[in-house]
Amino acid sequence: MVYKRFYPVLLDAANRILAGHSCVLCGLRAESLTSPKAICQVCLAAIQLSGNCCYQCGISIKSTDGQQKCGECLHHPKPYHRLIASCHYDFPVNQAISRFKFDQQLHLGKALAKALSQLILDTYQDDELPQLLIPIPLHRKRLAERGFNQSQLIAKTISHNILIPTVVNQLIRVKNTPHQIGLKATQRKQNLKNAFKVKSQLPRHIALIDDVVTTGSTITEATKQCLKHGAETIDIWCLAKT
Ligand SMILES: [Zn+2]
Ligand SMILES: [Zn+2]
């Protein structure tokens, strides 16, 4: 009888504990999480970029007087139109991206791409969204090593969330560049020269999707190729900018 009285109380407590899913970053259960591949509000607030960023290259800028570009982009404009990065490349995002890429923890990439999708929708508002998403390709040898292209998975997740198609194999990587980590910007640039090829005509406005943008050499080189094949405005969307 006692049990009968307490049963509804226990059931209610159990339901509340089990409601929602666990955050992929902190592991805590949150009622607001409606999918098992998501990041809780507390983690999102901690990892997302805040403050003013340069419209074109995405670095943090102090200016609040309406100046949207950093000094570097004002003097040496990038070939791409704008860059949107959703997170700081710090713990736990750097660790999550590395587990996503090198340990096939695909749910981490999907969760971060979902957060990026929301940021894109919030950022563009009345601005025209690109007509097509193109993931930065891997060379076929690198693809065989890793088993999947992380940028393609990010692009597909964004496509699913904001309903813009992704095409693969339109932009291809014809040069197998060595790992760029630790290399100087000039060396990176040299390695990436003619690394990409565009296979057919592109629409006017596209977005290139990458996991992490570091010096920008890769996206710059890919942008230059796309500009030669019909694209006029190229936006860059990435999970993180170092
Ligand atoms: Zn969390
Ligand atoms: Zn800039």
| Percent of the chain's residues with pLDDT above 70 | 90
The Å distance, Cα 33 to ligand 1 centre, comes to: 10
- Separation of 44 CA from ligand 1 center, angstroms? 7
The ligand that comes nearest to the alpha carbon of residue 80 is 2
**Each residue's pLDDT tens digit, 115-158:** 999 999 999 998 999 999 999 999 999 999 999 999 999 999 99
pLDDT at 201: 96
Residue 218 CA to residue 70 CA, distance in Å, equals: 20
**pLDDT of 182 higher than 80:** no
Looking at residue 179, what DSSP letter applies? Answer: P
**Within a domain: 171:** yes
CA of 77 to the centre of ligand 2 (A): 8
From ligand 2's centre to the CA of 222, what distance in Å? Answer: 18
Does residue 28 sit within a domain? yes
In a domain, 140, yes or no: yes
Counting ligands in written order, the one closest to the CA of 21 is 1
Ligand 1 centroid to Cα of residue 216, in Å, is 29
Surrounding residues of ion ligand 1, Cβ less than 5 A: 23, 25-26, 40, 43
- Count the Cβ atoms, other than its own, within 10 Å of residue 234: 25
Nearest ligand, measured from the Cα of 77 = 2
Ligand 2 centroid to Cα of residue 47, in Å, is 21
Q: What are phi and psi of 196, to 5 degrees?
A: -115, 155
159, part of any domain: yes
Between the CA of 193 and the centroid of ligand 2 the distance, in Å, is 22
Residues 30 and 84 both lie in one domain: no
Domain-embedded: residue 236: yes
Residues 27 and 82 in one domain: no
Tokens of 128: 């025209």
Going from the Cα of 27 to the center of ligand 2, the distance in angstroms, rounded, reads 35
Same domain, 118 and 191: yes
pLDDT of 16: 57
Same domain, 86 and 137: yes
* Rounded-to-integer distance, Cα 200 and Cα 191, Å: 24
Total domains in the chain come to 2
CA of 190 to the centre of ligand 2 (A): 22
Please indicate, yes or no, whether residues 20 and 97 belong to a single structural domain of this protein. no
CA–centroid distance, 129 to ligand 2, in Å, is 21
Residue 200's domain comprises 78-241
Residue 89 lies in a domain: yes
Per-residue confidence band for 185, with pLDDT thresholds at 50, 70 and 90: confident
Based on the fold, state whether residues 139 and 234 are members of the same structural domain.
yes
In degrees and rounded to multiples of 5, residue 185 shows phi and psi of -55, -40
For residues 163 and 234, membership in a common domain is answered with yes
Specify whether 113 is located in the same domain as 198.
yes
**H runs (alpha helix) in the chain:** 2-18, 41-47, 71-75, 93-102, 106-124, 140-146, 150-162, 185-192, 217-227
42 and 82 assigned to the same domain: no
> Residue 73 Cα, ligand 2 centroid: separation in angstroms?
4
Confidence of residue 66 (pLDDT cuts 50, 70, 90): low
For residue 132, tell me if it sits in a domain. Answer: yes
pLDDT in tens, 12-64: 666 555 667 899 999 998 888 878 889 999 999 999 988 888 999 999 888 66
Ligand 2 center–CA 72 separation, angstroms: 6
- The verdict on 30 and 120 lying in the same domain is no
- Report pLDDT for 62: 83
Q: Are residues 117 and 233 in the same domain?
A: yes
Tell me the C-alpha distance between 201 and 134, whole Å. Answer: 13
Q: Name the token pair of 93.
A: 């995002």
| 101 lies in some domain | yes
Residues 10 and 127 in one domain: no
Q: Tell me, what's the pLDDT at 103?
A: 95
